[in-house]
Structure 1
């Protein structure tokens, strides 16, 4: 590629902070929940580069074609690949696009097409823009027609409203960029404010770590909450344990393993969500190890998704055991469910949630 910037190029990164800062010259943007993607176009050639530097072209042919249609002959753009289902971001549907079978990729490109939401312009024609201030790069980005460009603001109050409302469309926070700052590949120059919550949930199953002998190390904990009818629904998992913790959990939880057919996820009721259930992506029930639902664990989580009963959008993070809580007291009421919103409204910067 004959561009002023050539791949692979590390994207500019962000450091997490607890809240929107009260001062500082910042440009705020909604934080999109997808795959980071740098787009390099040089006339008839387009490269979709992942955050790790790998090509995403084979998985998102519809985005490659769209970039050939809307970008100038030579340009480098930073953005996020997202998939919306029923006008709400669907990270699971996006993840399913990374599939080894070309026929499956083609099918999903039609059924669940991805779009690129652009939020920075790094090169245009023969000009590199890395040293240009954020506000100048954004102005140049807005001059390009046909792209889905994220909204931006310097108004902290409006950014706080975005943080609260746009979660209903599947977004997971707000980003902040120094208004007069350059684009710094690989450096945490931006800030990110993400939703952070806790919940007390029921431990009712586990899966063994895939790289160890079954029974020796826990891969993930399977979590549930009770609904008003007393059904225990699977809401997600907690994982990302250190190796020593995986082994310790395998020993600690061994006494809870059960083969009782009365386990709520072994003999589920109609409408009850269970781990690894058959869906459009999975043709067979995924296996798990049932545990007697006697323990309560506090988790950190960011967002929920889906219709009732809702589930965790991303994996929860183990915080601590709660021996003071009874499993039956762990119900959906404790979850913070955002108002419904839609992706199109986010792109317009519309602050009115849908009914």
Structure 2
């Protein structure tokens, strides 16, 4: 593991920083780094083959594009049919009109287990992609249409060798070091205020990392094992400058991958059971292992700024208890630059109200209340037991971003406790 600590000084990394703004070289560098670690680990343990990384960019040749068009003109892709026709658990039915994404539960420590596979946890927006007759519809985890926000992802229709398909994945923006950045993701998307969407920063290129396939040309794969679904996805997906396969690593590599993710400053990793079916709910068959503690909170108000600071001082945050009452858990006053303060303030002013949304005391002064309709993601150092309702309180929370893809009702103490 020590060898990769200086990988950013390597020739590969220096050349990747000179690449185009599309970010493909940066993403490929991350995948290649993880693949090298995987190869070294396998060599040390005497394992035979190392899986080839699929995240590196591959340019579609005109000949390849013609093959995809020809396959689709026949009603389905030969690659898709050959990949799915004999799978256990497959069901033939019309394409679903809606999918509720499968969510991972939290576990504290990384582990190694051959019955599991591991993936990088991308810090972006979850997006289920519905591909029907060359049209692409992107849907968030709370069933909002994301398609107008990311018109570039129409290329998914060409990247998938199937006429109709449903993919699960994540929309991501990489920073200058090749790491996924939720802050840049928000800038690319534009902060949404009620009734309007702030202008997105189109100069920030997006990537779509596909990690699952749920439907292919008349066949529902949700009762097929994850291992088989991953194989199908690899067979039908043609990675491009924008569309990537989110690679997975064998169960013996969980701890090693976690250490790589930690060294690279990533959010964490995911563990998924190889034989897991796709459940449209939160499940223990998928686990997330976080490097940084984060939590999604409801914004219930904001404080006035002090000194030379403009717009507001901090966000007043809360979580819902089992009685569906909003309880104060702290304030986040850091994590903002001047431009972000102004943007967030515009959002807050539109939802300001005279009604206090919290039950119980709020340990903050000069609070302006807002309707509890927006969600903020914050990172923090630890939980403390300080609330009057017997709940938890955040220590040193730092604002990371607004979560338009999360509903306020999801921000509960029960969920917070499960993430401790």
TM-score range, shorter chain: 0.5 to 0.7
Q: 1:103 to 1:130 in 2, by over 3 A?
A: same
C-alpha contact 1:77 1:118 (8 A) present in aligned 2: yes
Aligned to 2:168: 78
Aligned to 1:277: 337
Aligned to 1:39: 129
Matched, 1:137 2:229: yes
Aligned to 2:291: 195
After TM superposition, the score normalised by the length of structure 2 is 0.49
Instruction: State the Cα deviation string for residues 115-154 of structure 1 (Å, max 9, x = none).
Output: 1111111111112111211111111111121241112122
Q: Secondary structure at the match of 2:318?
A: coil
**Equivalent position to 2:317, from 239, 261, 265:** 239
Q: Secondary structure at the match of 1:68?
A: helix
Question: Which region of structure 1 is more displaced relative to structure 2, 131-140 or 23-32?
Answer: 23-32
Inter-partner Cα distance in structure 2 for 1:36 and 1:145: 20
C-alpha contact 1:39 1:76 (8 A) present in aligned 2: yes
1:5 Cα offset (Å):
3.2
After TM superposition, the score normalised by the length of structure 1 is 0.57
**Structure 1 or 2: larger helix share?**
2
Question: Which region of structure 1 is more displaced relative to structure 2, 10-19 or 90-99?
Answer: 90-99
Matched, 1:319 2:391: no
C-alpha contact 1:80 1:118 (8 A) present in aligned 2: yes
1:170 Cα offset (Å):
5.1
C-alpha contact 2:221 2:229 (8 A) present in aligned 1: yes
What CA RMSD, in Å, does the superposition of the two structures yield over aligned residues? Answer: 4.3
Q: 1:70 to 1:193 in 2, by over 3 A?
A: same
Q: Secondary structure at the match of 1:239?
A: strand
Instruction: State the Cα deviation string for residues 298-333 of structure 1 (Å, max 9, x = none).
Output: xxxxxxxxxxxxxxx833265268xxxxxxxxx9xx
Inter-partner Cα distance in structure 2 for 1:237 and 1:161: 37
Aligned to 1:92: 183
Matched, 1:67 2:156: yes
Inter-partner Cα distance in structure 2 for 1:57 and 1:77: 14
Inter-partner Cα distance in structure 2 for 1:281 and 1:46: 35
Inter-partner Cα distance in structure 2 for 1:114 and 1:148: 11
Inter-partner Cα distance in structure 1 for 2:117 and 2:335: 41
Q: 1:245 to 1:165 in 2, by over 3 A?
A: same
Question: Which region of structure 1 is more displaced relative to structure 2, 180-189 or 49-58?
Answer: 180-189
Q: Secondary structure at the match of 1:7?
A: coil
Inter-partner Cα distance in structure 1 for 2:344 and 2:116: 49
Note the 1:190-339 alignment, pairs <5 A: 190-196=286-292, 209-210=300-301, 239-241=317-319, 245-246=327-328, 276-279=336-339, 282=342, 314-316=378-380, 318-319=383-384
C-alpha contact 1:29 1:152 (8 A) present in aligned 2: yes
C-alpha contact 2:100 2:280 (8 A) present in aligned 1: yes
Aligned to 1:118: 210
Instruction: State the Cα deviation string for residues 7-50 of structure 1 (Å, max 9, x = none).
Output: 32111121111223454611111111111111010013211010
Inter-partner Cα distance in structure 1 for 2:303 and 2:132: 44
**Structure 1 or 2: larger strand share?**
1
Inter-partner Cα distance in structure 1 for 2:340 and 2:114: 47
1:284 Cα offset (Å):
9.9
Aligned to 2:277: 182
Inter-partner Cα distance in structure 1 for 2:129 and 2:282: 19
Aligned to 1:343: none
Q: Secondary structure at the match of 2:288?
A: strand
Inter-partner Cα distance in structure 2 for 1:136 and 1:18: 28
How many residue pairs match? The answer is 248
1:187 Cα offset (Å):
4.2
C-alpha contact 1:35 1:50 (8 A) present in aligned 2: yes
Aligned to 2:248: 152
1:103 Cα offset (Å):
8.2
